[in-house]
Amino acid sequence: MIGVGYRKDFAEEWENNPDSLSVDFIEVAPENWMNVGGYWKKLFDKKLQDYPLFTHGLSLSIGSPDELDFKFLKDLKTFLDSNNVVIYSEHLSFSKCDNAHLYDLLPVPFTEDAVKHVVKKVKSVQDILERPLVLEIVSYYSPLAAEMKEIDFVNAIVQESDCQLLLDVNNIYVNSFNHGFNPVEFITLLPRDKIAYIHMAGHLQVDDNLIIDTHSEPIINPVYRLFEFSLKWLQKPIPVLLERDFNIPDLKEIQSEINELKRLYNKSLQKEKEHVS
C-alpha cells in the first residue's frame, strides 16, 4: 500500500481530475482537519469515501514535561473513530513546554528518566484512544543531554510501553548523515515486529556536513536504497507514505514518486514470494 499526504494545496485539482493521482490511502494531521467545516470538509469527506485514512499528529508532544491534554485526546478519539482511521501516528518528540507551543518537533533527551516519563504518557494515550500509538523516530540536529544511545532509548520505550513504530526512512538517513552513524545498522537494531508504518520524503543538503529535513524536495537515490533495504529486512507488507510538506509540485511529479515507491515495493514483495516458494 502506498499513500500520500492529503493537502489543501492539491485537493481541488485531485477532486476535479480523480485520475491525476493513484494511491491506496491518504494521510492527514488530525489537528488540521478536526475542526474544519464547510467546503473543505465536504471535499475531505468525499475523499474518505474512496480512500482509507491514516493520521500523523503534530501536537501530542509525548516527550514534553507537561501533562497530556485530555480535552484534545477526547476530541482526537472522536475524530479517529468517526473516520475509521487505520493508524494514528505521532512523533517521538516534544513541541510544548509549560503550555507554550514551540512550533518545532524537538528531540526528547535520551535518558532513563525520559524513558519512564514517555512510557507513562504513551500508556495513557493508548488507554484513552483505545488503539496503539505508532511513534515516529524524528530527525534532530543536536541531541539533548544524552545519557544513552538513541537506539537504546527508542527500544526501551517500545518495549516498556508496547507502542508501535513509524520508520521514517528519510529521518534515519538524515540523522545518520548529520551524526555520523550507519543507517543500515541502526534500522536492523530496531524491533522489526513493532514497525507498523513507513514514511518516505525528500530533504535539503545545506552544507557538506548538514542535511535539513525539509520535506520540500524529491526523494534522493540513497534514501530509495535504504527503503529497499528496509522492505527486505522487514519481510512483511507494510503501508508506505510519501510525505511532501513544502514546495509542493504538481500532481504529475507527485505521481512519479508514488510510482517509484510502488515499483520498489512490488519488487520487494515479489522477491519475498520467490524466497518463500
The residues that touch Fe ion, with contacts defined as CB under 5 A, are 168, 199
Q: Is the dihedral of CA 42, 133, 96, 6 positive or negative?
A: negative
Of the candidates 40, 50, 2, 9, the residue with the CA atom closest to the CA atom of residue 255: 2
| Beta carbon of residue 168, minimum distance to Fe ion (angstroms, whole number) | 4
The smaller minimum CB distance to Fe ion, of residues 199 and 203, is found at 199
The smaller minimum CB distance to Fe ion, of residues 66 and 260, is found at 260
| Beta carbon of residue 139, minimum distance to Fe ion (angstroms, whole number) | 9
| Beta carbon of residue 136, minimum distance to Fe ion (angstroms, whole number) | 5
Packed helices 8-16 and 251-276: angle between N→C axes, nearest 10 degrees: 80
Strands 100-107 and 134-136: unpaired
The smaller minimum CB distance to Fe ion, of residues 40 and 177, is found at 177
The smaller minimum CB distance to Fe ion, of residues 83 and 139, is found at 139
| Beta carbon of residue 84, minimum distance to Fe ion (angstroms, whole number) | 22
Residue in the shown chain whose Cβ atom is closest to Fe ion: 199
Q: What is the DSSP letter of 171?
A: H
| Beta carbon of residue 42, minimum distance to Fe ion (angstroms, whole number) | 28
The smaller minimum CB distance to Fe ion, of residues 121 and 199, is found at 199
What the block records as the C-alpha cell of 175 is 540523522
Collapsing DSSP to helix, strand or coil, 219 comes out as: coil
Phi-psi region of 199 (alpha: psi -120 to 50; beta: other; left: phi over 0): beta
Alpha-helix residue ranges (DSSP H) falling in the chain? 8-16, 30-33, 38-50, 70-82, 112-129, 150-161, 169-179, 183-188, 221-234, 251-276
Residue 139, class by beta-carbon neighbours within 10 Å (0-12 exposed, 13-18 middle, 19+ buried)? buried
Distance CA 23, CA 6 (A): 11
| Beta carbon of residue 112, minimum distance to Fe ion (angstroms, whole number) | 26
The smaller minimum CB distance to Fe ion, of residues 46 and 241, is found at 241
DSSP 93-130: EEEEETTEEEEEEEEPP-SHHHHHHHHHHHHHHHHHHT
The smaller minimum CB distance to Fe ion, of residues 96 and 199, is found at 199
- Amino acid letter for position 35: N
| Beta carbon of residue 154, minimum distance to Fe ion (angstroms, whole number) | 15
The smaller minimum CB distance to Fe ion, of residues 152 and 245, is found at 245
| Beta carbon of residue 93, minimum distance to Fe ion (angstroms, whole number) | 11
